[in-house]
């Protein structure tokens, strides 16, 4: 069982923002307009809220999601302190999620680490499915664009369980 006491404050902050960072990866993979960005962000946040409300996804996921929801209810930005910039933003996001995966792999139980990885991938998948991409006036638009699918594949690699 893994809980808040197993991590430093800085590490816990990284865990709290990780599901939103996973959703942000999708938004940057195939940038749309402000409506698409909003839908994708809301989908990531809904994933966190649902996990916090339902619980039962492991002690780590339950604790992180509840703390993240509490932050948002107090109008604190869970992404505070993480500002990927420029052309390298996608790589910075992947690096952040890779570091988070290494962190949970090192400090959490195998079951809690796997549940946390699943949360991140679910947040990204829901963000990808939140808004149709491409097309014209909705015609020939797709639910998940090629760029988003490529990012989902990269996230799957980055968030895989370490060998060994």
How far is it, in rounded angstroms, from Cα 53 to Cα 13?
Answer: 20
Which residue has better confidence, 118 or 146?
118
pTM, entire model: 0.91
Q: Which pLDDT score is estimated for 86? A: 83
In sequence order, which residues have a C-beta less than 8 Å from that of residue 153 and are 6 or more positions away? Answer: none
Structure confidence at residue 135 as a pLDDT band (50, 70, 90) = low
pLDDT of residue 2: 92
């Amino acid at each position: 069982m893994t809980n808040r006491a197993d991590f430093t404050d800085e590490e816990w902050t990284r865990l709290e923002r990780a599901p939103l960072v996973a959703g942000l990866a999708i938004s940057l993979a195939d940038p749309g307009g402000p409506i698409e960005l909003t839908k994708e962000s809301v989908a990531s946040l809904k994933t966190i809220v649902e996990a916090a409300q339902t619980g039962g996804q492991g002690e780590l996921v339950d604790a992180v999601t509840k703390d993240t929801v509490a932050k948002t209810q107090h109008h604190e930005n869970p992404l505070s302190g993480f500002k990927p910039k420029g052309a390298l933003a996608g790589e910075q996001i992947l690096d952040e999620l890779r570091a988070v995966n290494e962190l949970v792999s090192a400090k959490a139980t195998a079951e809690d680490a796997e549940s946390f990885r699943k949360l991140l991938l679910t947040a990204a998948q829901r963000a990808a499915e939140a808004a149709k991409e491409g097309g014209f006036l909705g015609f020939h638009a797709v639910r998940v664009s090629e760029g988003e699918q490529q990012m989902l594949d990269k996230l799957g690699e980055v968030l895989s369980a370490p060998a060994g």
